[in-house]
Amino acid sequence: MKIKLLMAGLLGLISATTFAQKGELKNAQESYDNYTVESNSAAAKLSPAIMTKATTDINDAKTAIDKAAANEKTSALPLTFALKGAIYGALAARDTVPATSAPLLATAQDAIKKAKELDTKGENKKLIDQANFSVAQYNSTLGVKEYQSGKYDAAYKAFDAYRQVFPDDTTAIYYTALAASNAGGTDPKYYPFAISNYKTLLTTKYSANAKIYRYLAILYIVNKDTTNALKTLGEGVAKYPANSDLRELEIRIGLQAGKENEILGKIQAAIANDPQNKLLYYYEGLTYSRIADASDNKSAKAKDDASKNALNKAALDNYAKAADIYKKAVAIDPDYFEANLNLGYSLIKPAIDTYNEARNLPAAQQKQYEAMRAKADAQFDVAKPYLQKAVDLDPKSSDALSNLRNYYRGKFDPAHAADNKAKADDLKKQIDALPATTTKN
């Protein structure tokens, strides 16, 4: 009888101990559940009492889960690890001091990892998801803080940790790419991370992907990869044909890469989409100007008259096309400096060529000389209003001053020869007085 009573007492003691152990796990769960309700309450931010209660509950949850984790009966349970990850993750997300929040985060991450390994049936998925959310929240907040402080490499590390928890979260991908892009300014090793994440973002339904195509193209240019920059912009324009920023960047990069012939059709398509965009007309005019310059340079090197004449004609035709297009930009904005400058150049360049050709004629060809001088003078006069306008708009532009000076040097006007020479000399003095950085291309 005594043995039976003793066994009954031992069994009762064991049951009570086990209940106490599992009771700590239950206490941790209840305190954590209360905390989640309180902290997510709409009134929480307005009620100090609710926030105080939430703080008490999460601290109580920590005390209870620490006890459950220390006891051999509950320490290895998947629930213990899942709950510990959620509780410590919440504590880390609440803590704004890195010295104290970092250890909390590390504990949470270790617990989450173990919980995933043990929870083969997915019974604690909700808790694990909550824990992951807190860890992501912590890293997101840290990333923003580091980014705003200009510590872009640290921001990238934090945002990338956030992204790894939620790899399909477009905000996480975007923040990671943005931080890496900025970090690349001081350490180029981050550029590939930015490119990779922007490319990933383009595979999603991110609402600002038109902007991402532009960012990605710029990164390629920074990395001297014009081919992928143009490929990216081509894809972006195809997907967002009404986006003028993408079209303009594609055109600008294409022109910088010397792809005038390939880019011309894209410029004309952009104009059709945005017919009042002065910049697009400027780019089209610039394209014809460059094609004309290329023909002009080839003409100067041609070895036979037939090739020289054909190339010269092509140059003149394209200068004329450029001038017509620049006029459309000026019609939209009469004070558009670059358009006035290039329009003046497109008109005066043939005049200068005619002038130089006349000067090189043999003395016996006086009649032809006079005809060519008259032609050049007429061309000079057509160009002058735009040459003067460019100087008026920017009197410190070496290009504008040089073009106007060439007018006064080339214009044949015996009655005003002394006056024209004085103006040309004065313009030369102005050019010489300019710092080298004032020259505009």
Fold of 276-441: 1.25.40
pTM above 0.85, yes or no: no
Stretch(es) of the chain classified as CATH 1.25.40.10 = 276-441
pLDDT at 438: 45
Which residue in this structure is represented by tokens 């003078």? 377
User: Each residue's pLDDT tens digit in the chain (441 positions)?
Assistant: 444 434 444 344 444 444 445 688 899 899 888 888 888 766 556 578 888 888 898 899 899 999 999 988 998 999 999 999 999 999 998 888 889 989 999 999 999 999 999 999 999 999 999 999 999 999 999 999 999 999 999 999 999 999 998 999 999 999 999 999 999 999 999 999 999 999 999 999 999 999 999 999 999 999 999 999 999 999 999 999 888 889 889 988 998 888 888 888 889 988 998 899 999 999 999 999 999 998 988 988 888 888 888 998 999 999 999 999 999 999 999 999 999 999 999 999 999 888 888 888 888 888 888 888 889 889 999 999 999 999 999 999 999 999 999 999 988 888 888 999 999 999 999 999 998 754 444
Give the separation between CA 250 and CA 269, rounded to whole angstroms: 12
| 76 C-beta neighbours (distance < 10 Å), count | 11
Here the tokens at position 321 are 């096309």
What is residue 96's DSSP assignment?
-
- Annotate 312-369 with DSSP letters as a single string: HHHHHHHHHHHHHHHHHHHHH-TT-HHHHHHHHHHHHHHHHHHHHHHHTS-TT-HHHH
